[in-house]
């Protein structure tokens, strides 16, 4: 969303702020969960799951949500991605023989599904009086 907005207007500022805040959330939760799952900070978690917040906030970055909501989206995306790297990836390999060598499912797949759900829920619960009806986000 942010790349298609012209600079200097409210929507572009919101997109930038919400994206950075979501990235902070995914980074914080990734460091915590990496230590929780592994007893140490694993580079694969940090290199990938920290970016999950940016993936998840993409469709809603320009909406007038509070920094707390953007941070929560980042926390959720980072947690999903970290769980994916530490638990789901091995399970998928054992159960169905799926080898995801680049972590596409964990960095882009699951956080984008989470972001899609957020893009359907957030417009229903917020009001964005400056930019019209955010319910149009749900309709696409």
Sign of CA dihedral 31, 51, 110, 116: positive
Q: Give pLDDT < 50 ranges for the chain.
A: 129, 132
- pLDDT number for residue 121: 85
Q: What is the per-residue pLDDT across 75-89, written as a single tens digit (0 to 9) for each?
A: 999 999 999 888 888
CB distance 12 to 2 below 8 Å: yes
Q: What is the per-residue pLDDT across 25-43, written as a single tens digit (0 to 9) for each?
A: 999 999 999 999 999 998 8
Q: How many CB atoms lie within 10 A of CB 81?
A: 33
- pLDDT number for residue 95: 87
pTM above 0.85, yes or no: no
Q: In this structure, what token pair is assigned to residue 83?
A: 């769980």
């Amino acid at each position: 969303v942010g790349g298609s907005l012209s600079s200097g207007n409210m929507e572009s500022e919101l997109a930038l702020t919400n994206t950075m805040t979501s990235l902070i959330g995914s980074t914080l939760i990734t460091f915590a969960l990496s230590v929780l799952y592994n007893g140490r900070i694993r580079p694969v978690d940090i290199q990938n799951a920290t970016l999950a917040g940016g993936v998840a906030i993409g469709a809603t970055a320009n909406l007038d949500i509070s920094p707390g909501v953007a941070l929560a989206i980042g926390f959720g995306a980072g947690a999903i991605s970290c769980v994916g790297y530490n638990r789901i990836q091995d399970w998928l390999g054992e159960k169905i023989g799926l080898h995801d060598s680049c972590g596409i499912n964990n960095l882009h797949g699951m956080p984008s599904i989470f972001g899609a759900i957020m893009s359907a829920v957030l417009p229903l619960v917020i009001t964005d009086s400056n930019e019209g009806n955010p319910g149009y986000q749900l309709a696409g």
